[in-house]
């Protein structure tokens, strides 16, 4: 009982991914924009988000597509796709110290989250550089631990995402691989439990059709209060924030239908194939748009 949210609340969680922060920022600085009965909560990591989904404490979550498919698979299809927030075109990355290179007779200590996304980015980098997986020694870290691990020399490489990429770059880290690379697909989606969709739908639709467009408008118009809030939330300077945002392609309300069709036709099959080929799952339970099969 203690894990379940109040019956009237629709609770959506996400990690500290920069693409989610426009929603969190607008709700914080302008609370009346948040639909009544809808709570958006930022957690520290993918692990925290997956834990909240696993214990039934929330109605849905903003996740990368690979994580969303994993959640849907282990729950045997409990979730549906409510919207697509963005596509990462360089905002997920592998970073090292300037001058670092791998030698074939050495191992690589890699700091990373214990998540499907981190493993995906790591495997894509290894494939790209033709480095054997046996050379890697994973070091499981929360995103908030990446800077300390990097500056203290505890890792050779860090796998992470914005705004943590930019925080590391400001301390001398160099991006050697990112999600702008061909055949690297990182999308962020909102999934909702099918069981709560009937009561969640009106509030999620308000998030999709009102809160999301307002947040993107204030971001693009360089609204002073909005950018100040976003800067504080990300712990980035204005210049750092601008650089971090360059790697994110936000999906506007007008583009949702086309983005959904592309996801269903191309991105989801490709991601499912990766999850099976890499041994994460034997088979994948695909996601369907919310309302399509309820």
At residue 294, the pLDDT reads 52
Confidence of residue 5 (pLDDT cuts 50, 70, 90): very low
Cα separations in angstroms, 268 against 107, 127, 151, 178, 259: 33, 21, 37, 20, 12
Q: At the topology level of CATH, where does 10-87+185-277 sit?
A: D-Maltodextrin-Binding Protein; domain 2 (3.40.190)
Name the region of 201 (left: φ>0; alpha: ψ -120 to 50; beta: rest).
alpha
Query: Which of 158, 154, 101, 96 minimizes the C-alpha distance to 131?
Result: 101
Specify the residue for token string 């791998």. 102
- Crossing angle of helices 65-74 and 268-277, rounded to 10°: 70
At residue 2, the pLDDT reads 42
The answer to whether 157 touches 110, Cβ cutoff 8 Å, is: yes
**CA gap 244, 294 in Å, rounded:** 38
Q: Alpha helices of 138-211 — where are they, by DSSP H? A: 146-151, 164-169, 197-206
User: Per residue in 50-71, pLDDT tens?
Assistant: 889 988 889 999 999 999 999 9
| pLDDT at 128 exceeding the cut of 60 | yes
At residue 280, the pLDDT reads 85
User: Per residue in 227-278, pLDDT tens?
Assistant: 999 999 999 999 999 999 999 999 999 999 999 999 999 999 999 999 999 8
Mean pLDDT confidence for 20-25: 95
Average pLDDT along the chain: 93
At residue 9, the pLDDT reads 85
Q: Is the peptide bond before 163 cis (omega within 30 degrees of 0)?
A: yes
Indicate whether this model's pTM tops 0.85: yes
| pLDDT at 6 exceeding the cut of 70 | no
Q: Domain locations in the chain?
A: 10-87+185-277, 92-178
The yes-or-no answer to whether 10-87+185-277 and 92-178 have a common fold is yes
The token pair that represents 34 in the structure block: 């948040």
Does domain 92-178 match CATH 3.40.190.10? Answer: yes
């Amino acid at each position: 009982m203690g894990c379940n949210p109040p019956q009237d609340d629709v609770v959506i969680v996400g990690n500290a991914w920069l693409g989610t922060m426009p929603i969190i920022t607008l709700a914080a600085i302008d609370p009346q924009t948040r639909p009544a009965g809808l709570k958006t909560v930022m957690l520290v990591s993918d692990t925290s988000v997956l834990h909240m989904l696993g214990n039934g404490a929330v109605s849905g979550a903003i996740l990368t597509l690979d994580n969303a498919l994993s959640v849907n698979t282990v729950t045997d299809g409990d979730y549906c796709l409510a919207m697509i927030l963005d596509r990462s075109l360089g905002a997920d990355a592998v970073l090292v110290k300037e001058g670092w290179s791998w030698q074939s007779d050495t191992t690589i200590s890699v700091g990373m989250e214990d998540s499907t996304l981190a493993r995906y980015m790591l495997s894509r980098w290894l494939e790209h550089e033709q480095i054997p997986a046996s050379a890697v020694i994973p070091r499981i870290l929360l995103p908030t631990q990446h800077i300390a691990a990097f500056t203290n020399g505890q890792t050779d490489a860090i796998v992470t995402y914005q705004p943590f990429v930019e925080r590391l770059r400001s301390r001398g880290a160099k991006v050697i691989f990112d999600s702008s690379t061909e055949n690297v697909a990182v999308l962020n989606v909102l999934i909702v439990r099918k069981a709560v969709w009937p009561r969640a739908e009106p509030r999620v639709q308000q998030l999709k059709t009102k809160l999301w467009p307002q947040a993107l408008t204030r971001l693009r118009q360089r609204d002073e209060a909005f950018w100040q809030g976003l800067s504080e939330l990300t712990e980035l300077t204005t210049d750092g924030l601008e650089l971090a945002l360059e790697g994110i392609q936000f999906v506007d309300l007008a583009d949702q239908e086309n983005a959904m069709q592309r996801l269903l036709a191309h991105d989801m099959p490709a991601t499912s194939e990766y999850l099976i080929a890499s041994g994460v799952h034997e088979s994948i339970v695909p996601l369907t748009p919310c309302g399509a099969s309820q």
